[in-house]
Chain A
């Protein structure tokens, strides 16, 4: 605006609502420029107005939409370029496709240590991939890890990716374990649910299986295991978030793991990772009676949460599932424990409710970093206490 009069004219222009002129930098003082975005249909009118009043103007951006389209394309390209493990952005949330692509990159980068298995298919026929970390041998005692069984708990799949990368890249802390044990890691344990959280409902928890006779979809995969199945702490209502399903292992996602662990026959530790609450728990959830190994499991949990807190001061509570969080029947860890896997633990990662399931991506790496020593405590204990 050149002078007070021109300033007033520009302010008038702003008030002409039907022109829909969008001021990116408003007219405030004479001598200072103003920036406007003008919709196509108002271009002629605005140009005439400016010219008629001797208001000098220049075109900074010909077509805003073009810029937006270009930006979108750049973002898509950048996502594709993140394929390589060296440039994979661990500090952001990824789609299933990106995670599966990264998995292949990990296998390609460390072929003597990492391989990918398909242990089954989801309800919607997505592959259930498990990363195997092994330095050789056959039928070695093994560790089972899973993340993302509840699809809305995005921090878990993201922590899983970071952790699998650390193991695959041959971190020194895990060498002793890999010398005599294998690690099996399922990162996207509920791919149908995960896809649904990205396409439709960010807060979806269950599988996406159709329930006969109900409009409600999905079964809670952490209530579907054959351990106190159908008991208190699970629901028989298909519309409920804790619906246990028509029968134990009805969900292909659950059956695949159960079959895998039973067939393997030598799994010594199982850790199932959830969010949120900041808790480390062990069996039981389906009964209040203490597990036979309660003392040992409790002591190990105490040490693990202490080592976790040492990283960033994050406080965890710990104990049996029923004591710490609530009664829950048909859980992964109760089943694993009842089927011979002594060191069965479940984590509830950050936070305690401030962001809950919608944990900012900036917390992914710190969460993974602090969880690592706690996880190691459990794995090392399993290594040093064969049974």
Chain B
């Protein structure tokens, strides 16, 4: 039976849950995307905020048939508007193991003679060179973190484009990239430049060590 269309606020909460889940579980070889919201309920908690109870279906970007069910709870805080919403989730079932692809990507970057530099991913026509796909998925994971930290009930962020990415030279085992991305905020329809420093290691996952909103250039 088809679920009823989610109301717009529940849709935003679901998008936030998906972004958070992708931040926690995604990587250069795995991107999780919201496929459907199967249940949504809200609960007002006096003096605290509004809680959304959601049942979601997520799909793996790289393998559309790979689908998982999740339950998520999002609490948007009443008082401190600068506090990130609390997000708790559980994933039912297994996510496909990506160790092999992660190691291929890791070795590819490690064996580059010069630090990676790239612009405009995707380009104006939506093209992403295959070797840039993991770079893009990594940005998506990091953008999920930024979205989570900056979301309210009335925002929804998507990664619109990577304007610039530069690999940062490191003496240890980690890979580090400095991204300048454009985020698309749905409700205001604004395009927001955002800078992110992202650390990754096949065994240690993704970490956004630093991020900052950038001023909007005149032509935006």
- In chain A, what residue has the closest Cβ to B157? A353
A353 touches B7 (CB 8 A): no
A356-B160 in contact given A241-B189, A318-B5 (Cβ < 8 Å):
yes
A203 contact from B33, B128, B161, B188, Cβ within 8 A: B161
A241 touches B186 (CB 8 A): no
Pull 20 A–B residue pairs with CB atoms less than 8 Å apart, ordered by A.
Answer: A202-B161, A203-B160, A204-B219, A235-B188, A242-B189, A315-B35, A317-B6, A318-B5, A324-B11, A325-B8, A326-B187, A353-B33, A355-B126, A356-B159, A357-B160, A357-B184, A358-B160, A358-B161, A360-B125, A362-B126
Q: Does A174 contact B (CB under 8 A)?
A: no
Q: Does A385 contact B (CB under 8 A)?
A: no
Cβ contacts A205-235/B at 8 Å (1 or 0 each) = 1000000000100001000000000000001
Contacts of B63 on A, CB cut-off 8 Å? none
- Docked Cα-Cα span, A147 to B174, in Å, equals 46
- Docked Cα-Cα span, A125 to B106, in Å, equals 52
Cβ contacts B1-33/A at 8 Å (1 or 0 each) = 000011110010001000000000000000101
Q: Which residues of B contact A (CB under 8 A)?
A: 5-8, 11, 15, 31, 33-36, 61, 122-128, 158-161, 182, 184, 186-191, 216, 218-220
A360 contact from B6, B122, B158, B218, Cβ within 8 A: B122
A322 touches B160 (CB 8 A): no
- In chain B, what residue has the closest Cβ to A152? B191
Contacts of A107 on B, CB cut-off 8 Å? none
- Docked Cα-Cα span, A41 to B69, in Å, equals 62
A203-B182 in contact given A356-B160, A358-B124, A360-B127 (Cβ < 8 Å):
yes
- Docked Cα-Cα span, A319 to B3, in Å, equals 13
B33 contact from A239, A323, A354, Cβ within 8 A: A354
- Docked Cα-Cα span, A76 to B11, in Å, equals 44
Q: Does A359 contact B (CB under 8 A)?
A: yes
- Docked Cα-Cα span, A57 to B220, in Å, equals 52
Instruction: Kindly identify, within residues 172 to 204 of chain A, every residue whose CB is under 8 Å from any CB belonging to chain B.
Output: 197-198, 200-204
A324 touches B8 (CB 8 A): yes
- Docked Cα-Cα span, A197 to B191, in Å, equals 14
A93 touches B188 (CB 8 A): no
* Chain A: number of interface residues, binned into ranges: 35 or more
A360 touches B219 (CB 8 A): no
Of all A-B residue pairs in the complex, the 5 with the closest CB atoms, nearest first, are A360-B126, A241-B189, A353-B158, A317-B5, A358-B122
B5 touches A201 (CB 8 A): no
Interface centre among A205, A357, A360 (most CB of B within 10 A): A357
A203 touches B5 (CB 8 A): no
Q: Does A108 contact B (CB under 8 A)?
A: no
B126 touches A242 (CB 8 A): no
Not counting A200-B219, A317-B5, A357-B160, a sample of 10 additional A-B residue pairs whose C-beta atoms are within 8 angstroms of each other reads A197-B124, A198-B124, A201-B220, A202-B124, A203-B160, A239-B216, A325-B11, A353-B15, A354-B31, A354-B33
- Docked Cα-Cα span, A197 to B219, in Å, equals 11
Q: Does A352 contact B (CB under 8 A)?
A: yes
- Docked Cα-Cα span, A16 to B34, in Å, equals 51
B61 touches A354 (CB 8 A): yes
- Docked Cα-Cα span, A203 to B161, in Å, equals 10
> Nearest Cβ distance between residue B7 and chain A, in whole angstroms?
6
Q: Does A248 contact B (CB under 8 A)?
A: no
B186 touches A326 (CB 8 A): yes
Interface centre among A197, A319, A353 (most CB of B within 10 A): A353
Contacts of B187 on A, CB cut-off 8 Å? 326
A322 contact from B8, B35, B190, B218, Cβ within 8 A: B8
- Docked Cα-Cα span, A197 to B124, in Å, equals 9
- In chain A, what residue has the closest Cβ to B18? A353
B8 touches A323 (CB 8 A): yes
Contacts of A46 on B, CB cut-off 8 Å? none
Q: Does A67 contact B (CB under 8 A)?
A: no
Contacts of A356 on B, CB cut-off 8 Å? 158-160, 184
> Nearest Cβ distance between residue B15 and chain A, in whole angstroms?
7
A352 touches B219 (CB 8 A): no
Q: Does A92 contact B (CB under 8 A)?
A: yes
Q: Does A240 contact B (CB under 8 A)?
A: yes
Contacts of A75 on B, CB cut-off 8 Å? none
A240 touches B125 (CB 8 A): no
B186 touches A315 (CB 8 A): no
Contacts of B182 on A, CB cut-off 8 Å? 203
Q: Does A361 contact B (CB under 8 A)?
A: yes
B5 touches A323 (CB 8 A): yes
A324 touches B5 (CB 8 A): yes
- Docked Cα-Cα span, A357 to B184, in Å, equals 9
- Docked Cα-Cα span, A357 to B8, in Å, equals 20
- Docked Cα-Cα span, A359 to B122, in Å, equals 9
- Docked Cα-Cα span, A242 to B188, in Å, equals 7
- In chain A, what residue has the closest Cβ to B190? A241
A92-B189 in contact given A200-B219, A357-B160 (Cβ < 8 Å):
no
Contacts of B219 on A, CB cut-off 8 Å? 200-201, 204
- Docked Cα-Cα span, A362 to B219, in Å, equals 29
- Docked Cα-Cα span, A361 to B123, in Å, equals 11
A361 touches B125 (CB 8 A): yes
- Docked Cα-Cα span, A318 to B3, in Å, equals 11
Cβ contacts A319-340/B at 8 Å (1 or 0 each) = 1001111100000000000000
> Nearest Cβ distance between residue A299 and chain B, in whole angstroms?
13
A359-B8 in contact given A203-B220, A352-B34 (Cβ < 8 Å):
no
